[in-house]
Amino acid sequence: MDNSEADPDGYTESTRRYIVDTAVSRVRARGIEPHPDLLLLYERYIKGELCRSELQIHLHNRLANLMANLQHQSKRREHYEQSNSHEGE
């Protein structure tokens, strides 16, 4: 897809780049650096390799995996703290 071709959502490559650049700039303005894997996904969207709905699916799955990892770490920490609290008894 060249820059002048619109994707299924009606956006050209330059419009997709503007959308992504604006979103990334807003995140960085809050002092947060987007993960490199996320930037690669955005670049695939800009190039037209992913449509908006495919990008949303990737982002949703990434968020779900991050949440699952956080829950797992929280349970491990809780188990560790419980184990250590019984050592002094």
Q: Read off the pLDDT of residues 1-23 as tens digits, 9 standing for 90 and up.
A: 556 788 888 999 999 999 999 99
Residues 6+ apart with CB under 8 A from 45: 16, 20, 51, 52, 54, 55
Q: What is the mean pLDDT of residues 58-74?
A: 94
pLDDT of residue 75: 85
Does this model's pTM top 0.85? My answer is no
For the chain, the structural domain boundaries read 13-85
pLDDT surpasses 70 at 33: yes
> What tokens appear for 38 in the block?
């996320």
Q: What CA–CA distances, in Å, run from 73 to 32, 34, 77?
A: 22, 22, 6
The CATH code of the domain at 13-85 is 1.10.8
